[in-house]
């Protein structure tokens, strides 16, 4: 079966440093989430990274409750690299009404990103997210790991999510 996220367009050379992200990924085991304002939870997630030949990766993340399988969270957006550098930007729209730009660095097969800008709907749930840090790392065993830290109006930056994925295609 062909992978629906592999494109027939030729990969733009600007993306060669992050081609290890391309394809579909599914959580290997349920991930863990926690924050002082919510009960700890377990979740599963699918990630899809694709391209259409432009110097941009398109992505979609879908998270589900580990037991009930109900949708929890969704993010979609784009990954851009600053030409001639290791600088990376994620442009993200979340179904919670948060829109963010995270910028950071690519070191080998690890992306470290931090909030550059945030915007939200006028009726977004409080306390408001103030900062997000995210790390993606392709591990030696071929699995992808993501850790997300978050700060809100009421709490400093702390780990919120941790999950590991296996490549589907």
Q: Tens of pLDDT along 25-76?
A: 999 899 999 999 999 999 999 999 999 999 999 999 999 999 999 999 999 9
Beta-bridge partner residues of 114: 103, 133
What pLDDT is recorded for position 160? 97
pTM (predicted TM-score): 0.93
The C-alpha atoms of residue 11 and residue 9 are separated, in whole angstroms, by 6
CATH match of 13-167 with 1.10.357.10: no
More confident of the two residues 7 and 12: 12
Domain limits of the chain? 13-167
3-state secondary structure of 3: coil
Residue reference for tokens 């994620």: 90
Q: What is the mean pLDDT of residues 136-161?
A: 98
Mean pLDDT within 134-157 = 98
Say yes or no to pLDDT of 3 above 80.
no
- pLDDT tens-digit series, residues 63-121: 999 999 999 999 999 999 999 999 999 999 999 999 999 999 999 999 999 999 999 99
At 14, give phi and psi (nearest 5°): -65, -20
Q: Which two tokens stand for residue 126?
A: 């409080």
What is d(CA 63, CA 43) in angstroms, rounded to the nearest whole number?
Answer: 7
Six-digit token pair at 10?
Answer: 């030729």
Max Cα separation, the chain? 48
């Amino acid at each position: 079966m062909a992978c629906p996220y592999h494109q027939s367009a030729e990969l733009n050379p600007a993306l060669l440093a992050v081609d290890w992200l391309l394809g579909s990924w599914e959580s290997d085991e349920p991930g863990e989430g926690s924050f002082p304002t919510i009960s700890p939870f377990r979740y599963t997630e699918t990630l899809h990274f694709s391209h259409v030949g432009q110097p941009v990766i398109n992505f979609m993340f879908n998270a589900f409750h580990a037991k009930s399988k109900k949708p929890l969270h969704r993010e979609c957006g784009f990954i851009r690299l600053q030409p001639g550098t290791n600088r990376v930007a994620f442009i993200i729209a979340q179904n919670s009404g948060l829109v963010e730009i995270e910028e950071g660095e690519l070191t080998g097969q690890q992306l470290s990103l931090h909030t550059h800008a945030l915007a939200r709907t006028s009726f977004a749930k409080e306390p408001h997210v103030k900062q997000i840090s995210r790390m993606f790392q392709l591990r030696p065993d071929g699995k992808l790991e993501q850790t997300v830290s978050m700060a809100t109006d009421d709490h400093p930056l702390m780990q919120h999510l941790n999950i590991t994925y296996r490549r589907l295609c």
